[in-house]
Amino acid sequence: MSGAPRLPPAARSIVAGDRRALARAITAVENGDPAARPVVRALYPRTGHVPVIGLTGPLGVGKSSLLSALIGRLRAAGRSVGAIAVDPSSPFSGGSVLGDRIRLERRADDDGVYFRSMASRGEAGGISAATREVARLLEAAGFSLIFVETVGSGQVDVAIREVATTSVVVLVPHLGDEVQTLKAGLFEIADVFDVNKSDLPGAERAARDLSELASLGRSADGWSPRIVRTSTTAPMGLDELWAAIEAHERFLDDSGARATGERRRLAHEIAERVRERVGRDVVGRLQRDRELRDLLDRVAARGIDPASAADRLYRDRYRAR
Ligand SMILES: Nc1nc2c(ncn2[C@@H]2O[C@H](COP(=O)(O)OP(=O)(O)OP(=O)(O)O)[C@@H](O)[C@H]2O)c(=O)[nH]1
Ligand SMILES: [Mg+2]
């Protein structure tokens, strides 16, 4: 017997490089299937060591094209890469485009790239927890680096910080007003800004504007966001983009921010799971539980507002018992 605890067969297959076992486990995680639990649990101690690079940004800015270009380079350098596209469910999203591109570009026998798209299930808000579990499965399967592409709108945008060790926010020249409205959120999450499509006019200006905004921005952890310009069509700037990502990963190690960030993400992940369960529980109880049905009746009759009802319910049912 070795010192390591025995793995369930499915987990052993994943570690041994069985791609079908990996795909099955990912599907189970994505569907919230309890069958995934023992596998994920058994593999967890082996994970947490590889960079998870998030790419987020508005629709169509070139996130998938960038990923594809970066993956090509990393493969050439011998790195094995897993990639997850989140929220490809929208017909306008390029999640499937990324898959197609990678499939097109990889050699048929290349086991060093694995692409998976994940639908973000509307109900859950559990997307970052599920994405993290999928990233762990990829890590356990031996991938040395993981990319996550999310379409940057609202929630998904911010969630990338709860998933990635380095977050790249991709923009394009002439976002103008859009940047103004996006910027509050984006500056909190970006470790690297990339002005892609820099073959188009206005890129220099956009990068300068971003530098100005970034200089006012976050540095709680001592990192100032890097700003790079790329074009996947020219192509240009891809080495600089990768260098900026690597610089941030090095910073995480040198400053100790990696451990702090991981604790923050884990806390978020646990909270997300608790929130999901409590949320389901509350909805159930509001229909089943006599006392809570009465409370809901009073809210419906405008006798008490929803926020006050929530306060009361939380105080009575969930606070330190
Ligand atoms: N001019 C120019 N076009 C680009 C560049 N990079 C990507 N594109 C084009 O922009 C379009 C969108 O590219 P994608 O890579 O699918 O963008 P995306 O951000 O992944 O899109 P979504 O996932 O749908 O949000 C495609 O038509 C690309 O060919 C670039 O550097 N310059
Ligand atoms: Mg895309």
| H or E stretch covering 15 | helix 9-15
Highest-scoring range by mean pLDDT, 94-98, 204-208, 221-225, 295-299: 295-299
From 56, 65, 198, the mutation candidate for ligand 1 (largest count of ligand atoms within 8 A of CB) is 65
pLDDT of residue 219: 62
Is the entire prediction scored with pTM above 0.85?
Answer: yes
Segment 221-228 mean pLDDT: 89
pLDDT of residue 317: 83
Ligand 1-lining residues (CB < 6 angstroms): 59-65, 92-94, 97, 151, 196-197, 199-200, 231-233
Task: Report the nearest-CA residue for atom 14 of ligand 1.
Answer: 62
Segment 216-239 mean pLDDT: 87
CA 61–ligand 1 middle distance (angstroms)? 5
Which ligand neighbours the alpha carbon of 60 most closely?
1
Task: Report the nearest-CA residue for atom 13 of ligand 1.
Answer: 62
CA 61–ligand 2 middle distance (angstroms)? 8
**Residue 266, φ and ψ in degrees, nearest 5:** -65, -40
Q: Is the pLDDT of residue 125 over 50?
A: no
User: For 285-305, how does the pLDDT look when each residue is reduced to its tens digit (9 = 90+)?
Assistant: 999 999 999 999 999 999 999
DSSP for residue 321: -
Residue whose pair of structure tokens reads 């970006």 in the numeric block: 190
Select the more confidently predicted residue: 308 or 92.
Answer: 308
Q: In this structure, what token pair is assigned to residue 275?
A: 């929130």
pLDDT of residue 176: 60
* Domains of the chain, start order: 9-255 (3.40.50.300), 266-317 (no CATH)
pLDDT of residue 60: 86
For ligand 1, what atom is nearest to the CA of residue 66? 15
What three-state secondary structure class fits 282? helix
Q: Is the pLDDT of residue 152 over 90?
A: no
Q: Is the pLDDT of residue 87 over 90?
A: no
From 93, 174, 232, the mutation candidate for ligand 1 (largest count of ligand atoms within 8 A of CB) is 232
| Residue 272 contacts residue 193 (beta carbons within 8 Å) | no
pLDDT of residue 123: 40
Q: Which residues, other chains included, contact 145 with Cβ-Cβ below 8 Å and sequence gap of 6+?
A: 50, 51, 53, 74, 79, 80, 81, 82
**Residue 210, φ and ψ in degrees, nearest 5:** -65, -40
Q: What is the mean pLDDT of the chain?
A: 85
pLDDT of residue 214: 75
Enumerate long-range contacts of 175-179, CB under 8 Å, 24 or more apart: 175/58, 175/206, 178/58, 179/206, 179/209, 179/210, 179/213
Q: With cut-offs at 50, 70 and 90, classify the pLDDT of residue 1.
A: very low
pLDDT of residue 210: 83
DSSP for residue 236: B
In DSSP terms, 192 is beta-bridged to: 168, 226
| H or E stretch covering 244 | helix 238-255
User: For 162-216, how does the pLDDT look when each residue is reduced to its tens digit (9 = 90+)?
Assistant: 899 999 999 899 766 666 666 566 677 889 999 999 999 989 888 888 888 777 7
CA 100–ligand 1 middle distance (angstroms)? 14
DSSP for residue 222: S
**Sign of the CA dihedral running 289, 291, 296, 297:** positive
